[in-house]
């Protein structure tokens, strides 16, 4: 089961954005954009935590976890209007990176 969770989370991670960023991306390095990125990162962690709690932290419900996280990230991306500010783009990048980082943490905890 732990191997299945690892494989599924890896697929989700690769499917969304490659690997989670260890630091603020260069395009978000400025003060204001960095604030947006960090706020998004915290939101991504929170999204995964809420989704993980929503499945009672049950590794057997990993499909439900992935569905909830994917839906949350997709909704956030869909809400970004064309020509969005760099601040908003950085916030979304942070959201994805935070979600991926938290998924990696959960994977490490379960395995």
Per-residue pLDDT tens over the stretch 30-66: 999 999 999 999 999 999 999 999 999 999 999 999 9
Q: How many CB atoms lie within 10 A of CB 59?
A: 17
Is pLDDT of 8 > 60? no
The residues, ordered by sequence, that sit 6+ positions from 106 with a Cβ below 8 Å of its Cβ are 9, 48, 52
Check residue 68 and give its pLDDT: 96
Reported as half-sphere exposure (CB side, CA atoms, 13 A), residue 105 has a value of: 13
Alpha-carbon distances, residue 44 vs 60, 70, 99 (angstroms): 22, 11, 4
Domain extent listing, the chain: 2-110
């Amino acid at each position: 089961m732990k191997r299945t969770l690892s494989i599924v989370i890896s697929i989700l991670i690769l499917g969304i954005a490659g690997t989670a960023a260890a630091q603020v991306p260069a395009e978000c390095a400025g003060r204001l954009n960095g604030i947006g990125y960090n706020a998004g990162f915290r939101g991504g962690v929170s999204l995964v935590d809420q989704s993980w709690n929503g499945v009672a932290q049950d590794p057997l419900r990993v499909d439900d976890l992935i569905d909830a996280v994917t839906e949350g990230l997709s909704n956030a991306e869909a809400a970004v209007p064309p020509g969005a500010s760099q601040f908003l783009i950085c916030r979304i990048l942070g959201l994805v990176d935070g979600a991926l980082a938290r998924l990696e943490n959960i994977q490490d905890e379960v395995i």
